[in-house]
Structure 1
Amino acid sequence: MKKIFVLSSMLCAFSLQAQFSINIQTESGFNEQEAILYTLNGSKDIVVTKEKSKNNVWTFKYPKSYSGMMKVYFPNTNNSVSFISENKNVSIKLETKANKVQNVIYLDEANELMNSIQETSQKKELILPALAQIKEYYKDNTDFGKALISEIGKLSGTAGGVDQAKHPFVYFYNTNYNKFLSNDANKKVTQEEIVNFIDKSNDMLESSSLLRPVLVSYLNVGGNTNVAQSVDALINKLNVETPRGQTVLSELIDIFDVYDMNDFKTKYLTLAKNLKCTINDRLASTLKSNAATDLGAVFPEYKFHSPVNTTAKTIADVKADKKVIVFWSSTCSHCENELPKLLAKYKDLQANNIQIIGLSLDTDKNSYTTKIAAFPWINDSELRGWNSSFAEIYNIHATPTYFILDANNKIISKPNHVGDVLEYFKLK
């Protein structure tokens, strides 16, 4: 699952002479007016600007050079479309039905090529093993056997043939994905190779979406018993006073947060806090979001969107001796296992003036509505998934995530699991 930044009016002040433009067109029945353009920094979506529709066409003018992943998000219908830029004009047509994007047609050369390579890669991973098994039952000299051999040959090839000079980002992404993240390559890659890749790559690394998975691969190759040694070796090589080093440090802190590796998160978050040099935006946002949700901090305010089981307008309006905030989703298997245990103790919690507030990262209204019918506590959702504003406000990287607040909305505990919540209140 996973984010949306608060728009600043300054971000909308674009020069008239754009470096390149992004043109998104939809069918006339698509009921949406606003669209938001994002670039990428590591695993963070960064808001660039927003535009209004003109006859179901959105045109974004990007004022500087950029090669990497981009995204356009339609907030009112909760649709998004991802694409790449190679510092050239992008053109996309969306086929829609009932206000949902059904198909994306890439009209510019770079995105057509990237899409073709991705489709071939998916077929290679999903279909090639099955074709190899089927081949055992057919003779090579039959028509079907020959067709199988031909298709296997096509899918067995790499996504090569990309002209690096003509399509630098397509080449960068696919070459390094195949080298560091594909099923075959992942068995052979070494930590030294990954360190060299991160250290020597150009700025396309941050905009490629490869950084987070490559870092996870790096930690996996090093093994669970050598995490600190692996991380120290990496950040010492990169130098945490450089922008690349700080972005990697930020990503690692988030990774440790996702996987409940709290000791490592604390260690490297402390390192980040103690830096005396200028901090880049990526690390600054990590420090800010963690500080806002640290033990002892007052829980950042949130105005409810469409709450049920309450007349309160905000979290602060909810009056209770203590509050349990749970971020969850109806599609989350861990939530499916944990929330019923919270439900079983809900009356005991109520008896002690403890209120539960569930903030859902769902996107499907029916799924969300059906699920909360069983939950008598306060529930709210923007129905925007990881584009929900509170995912960024509260530094949420996984579901379920819990906070316990006192009567003054101060964070007094950050349980990892529902068992920890019940143990805190001596209800386990």
Structure 2
Amino acid sequence: MLFAFSLHAQFSINIQTPAEFKEKDAILYTLNGSKDIIVSKEQNKNNSWVFKYPKNYSGMMKVYFPNTNNSVSFISENKNVSIKLETENNKIKNVIYQDEANELMNSIQESSQKKEMILPALAQIKEYYKDNTVFGKALVTEIANLSGSNTTDVSKYPFISYYNTNYAKFLSNNPAKKVSQEEVIDFFDKSNDMLESSSLIRPILVAFLNNGGNANVEQSVDKLLTKLKVETPRGQTVLSELIDIFDVYEMNDFKSKYLTLAKNLKCTITDRLASTLKSNANVEIGATFPNYKFQSAVNTTAQSIADVKADKKIVVFWSSTCSHCETELPKLLEKYNDIKSKNIQVIGLSLDSDKDAYNNKIKVFPWINDSELRGWNSSYADTYNIHATPSYFILDANNKIISKPNHVGDVLNYLNIK
């Protein structure tokens, strides 16, 4: 079967690294909405990884190196992709795109970023320099360069054309005109399959909801879903994204309504929506918290969450780079002795990727701490439907979820710790 797979590959992805890059495995992902979809896993052969992709695909892709927690993103135009990575201390320092499509996309992205971020600053600086000075002339030249329209012909690159055209229309900081909700709905309804693989769905949906205003969220969403029909794959992808958006922004009433709509669908459920339903079902009040086997936990001899014996357990997902965690976890630390005296265990699962930052932080946390050191690529991010840190769960002695507090104050109030 593997031999047949290679014979019928539509295109290949070749990733090259220096010999010093100590990585064995690489995982290839495609994209559906905002969700990475695992395609295959390959092993290092002579400092390179070659993936054979068996069918047509135009859109965003990613290769993730799990042991060193590195990733590289690129696009596919349904043609061979070639990338060379420059690394230092097992971290990617530079990405050299060697195929024409990715070279072009990277060039356009860099130009667009300069135009959106640097051009306004240059325009302000120009006010303080006369045009006839050396620096003033240089400013005028650079402003003219950045202000010019991109004349690159992208007609033979369907995905690049699709992405940049629709990004400029729906998401640019300086759109030619304000886009109406009807135009967005029409775009979602009539777009080809590159919408799902473009990474544009979620940001356009957020802009769509903002455009409708807080008072009209439900009306806006219902209008969109009615047009798309939630029984269709496109409708289910959009429904899944909306549920996640409402979760991220703590719009709980809307999340509850559209999650219920998804649960009650009688049609065939797509993998995309099924994953959203499963991750939400895992963490419903009353559900048994899915067990997690510790990787290298400290302050415990337990091998998993289920092995931890206590009357109650506080599970907190956090990160050393999270500003809210910096505020909240010290408050949990202040009350730790009171918590422990009630036979309540605290279990911290970190979404860190930097080992030193993680280890420095947990030195002051006396509770159980563990981390895969894979950031948001950690396995438990999907399992426990984690969209933000800190996120809290309170479990009973049998690992049933009895509360999902929003903040550390809610945790302490629920446990009656003053």
CA contact (8 A) 1:12 1:48 kept: no
Could you say which residue in structure 2 is the equivalent of 1:305?
295
> How far did residue 342 of structure 1 move?
1.1
> How far did residue 15 of structure 1 move?
4.5
2:145 counterpart SS class:
helix
1:207 counterpart SS class:
coil
Could you say which residue in structure 1 is the equivalent of 2:30?
39
> How far did residue 423 of structure 1 move?
1.3
> How far did residue 12 of structure 1 move?
11
Deviations 1:190-245 (A, max 9, x none): 21221122111111111011111111111111111211111111111111011000
- Between the aligned partners of 2:176 and 2:235, the Cα distance in structure 1 is 23
CA RMSD of aligned residues (A): 1.6
User: Among residues 193, 197, 203, which one is paired with 2:187 in the alignment?
Assistant: 197
Could you say which residue in structure 2 is the equivalent of 1:263?
253
Question: In the alignment, does 2:357 pair up with 1:387?
Answer: no
More divergent stretch after superposition (193-202 vs 311-320): 193-202
Could you say which residue in structure 1 is the equivalent of 2:106?
115
2:5 counterpart SS class:
coil
CA contact (8 A) 1:19 1:87 kept: yes
- Between the aligned partners of 1:312 and 1:258, the Cα distance in structure 2 is 32
Could you say which residue in structure 2 is the equivalent of 1:147?
138
Aligned-partner residue type, residue 402 of structure 1: Y
- Between the aligned partners of 1:403 and 1:11, the Cα distance in structure 2 is 43
Alpha-carbon spacing, 1:58–1:239, altered in 2? closer, same or farther (3 Å): same
Could you say which residue in structure 2 is the equivalent of 1:423?
413
Could you say which residue in structure 2 is the equivalent of 1:181?
171
Could you say which residue in structure 2 is the equivalent of 1:234?
224
Question: In the alignment, does 2:162 pair up with 1:172?
Answer: yes
1:257 counterpart SS class:
helix
- Taking structure 2 as the reference length, the TM-score comes to 0.97
CA contact (8 A) 1:12 1:50 kept: no
Alpha-carbon spacing, 1:254–1:131, altered in 2? closer, same or farther (3 Å): same
Question: In the alignment, does 2:60 pair up with 1:69?
Answer: yes
Q: % of aligned pairs identical? A: 77
> How far did residue 150 of structure 1 move?
2.3
Gaps of 5+ in 1: 1-9
- Between the aligned partners of 1:355 and 1:276, the Cα distance in structure 2 is 41
Gaps of 5+ in 2: none
Question: In the alignment, does 2:125 pair up with 1:106?
Answer: no
- Between the aligned partners of 1:32 and 1:354, the Cα distance in structure 2 is 40
Question: In the alignment, does 2:98 pair up with 1:124?
Answer: no
1:30 counterpart SS class:
coil
Could you say which residue in structure 2 is the equivalent of 1:273?
263
1:14 counterpart SS class:
helix
User: Among residues 311, 331, 335, which one is paired with 1:341 in the alignment?
Assistant: 331
- Between the aligned partners of 2:151 and 2:386, the Cα distance in structure 1 is 38
Aligned-partner residue type, residue 183 of structure 2: E
Aligned-partner residue type, residue 146 of structure 1: K
CA contact (8 A) 1:25 1:93 kept: yes
Aligned-partner residue type, residue 123 of structure 2: A
Could you say which residue in structure 2 is the equivalent of 1:4?
none
- Between the aligned partners of 1:147 and 1:218, the Cα distance in structure 2 is 40
User: Among residues 25, 38, 45, which one is paired with 2:16 in the alignment?
Assistant: 25
Question: In the alignment, does 2:73 pair up with 1:89?
Answer: no
Aligned-partner residue type, residue 68 of structure 1: G
CA contact (8 A) 1:199 1:237 kept: yes
> How far did residue 289 of structure 1 move?
1.1
> How far did residue 364 of structure 1 move?
0.4
- Between the aligned partners of 2:124 and 2:266, the Cα distance in structure 1 is 59
- Between the aligned partners of 2:41 and 2:152, the Cα distance in structure 1 is 36
Aligned-partner residue type, residue 222 of structure 1: G
- Taking structure 1 as the reference length, the TM-score comes to 0.95
Alpha-carbon spacing, 1:408–1:243, altered in 2? closer, same or farther (3 Å): same
- Between the aligned partners of 1:337 and 1:186, the Cα distance in structure 2 is 42
> How far did residue 137 of structure 1 move?
2.7
Could you say which residue in structure 1 is the equivalent of 2:359?
369
1:185 counterpart SS class:
coil
1:403 counterpart SS class:
strand
Could you say which residue in structure 1 is the equivalent of 2:212?
222
Could you say which residue in structure 1 is the equivalent of 2:50?
59
> How far did residue 414 of structure 1 move?
1.0
> How far did residue 156 of structure 1 move?
1.7
Alpha-carbon spacing, 1:62–1:310, altered in 2? closer, same or farther (3 Å): same
Question: In the alignment, does 2:409 pair up with 1:409?
Answer: no
CA contact (8 A) 1:238 1:244 kept: yes
> How far did residue 385 of structure 1 move?
0.2
Could you say which residue in structure 2 is the equivalent of 1:133?
124
Dislocated runs of 4+, deviation >4 Å: 10-13
CA contact (8 A) 1:177 1:210 kept: yes
Alpha-carbon spacing, 1:58–1:145, altered in 2? closer, same or farther (3 Å): same
More divergent stretch after superposition (382-391 vs 175-184): 175-184
- Between the aligned partners of 1:158 and 1:267, the Cα distance in structure 2 is 44
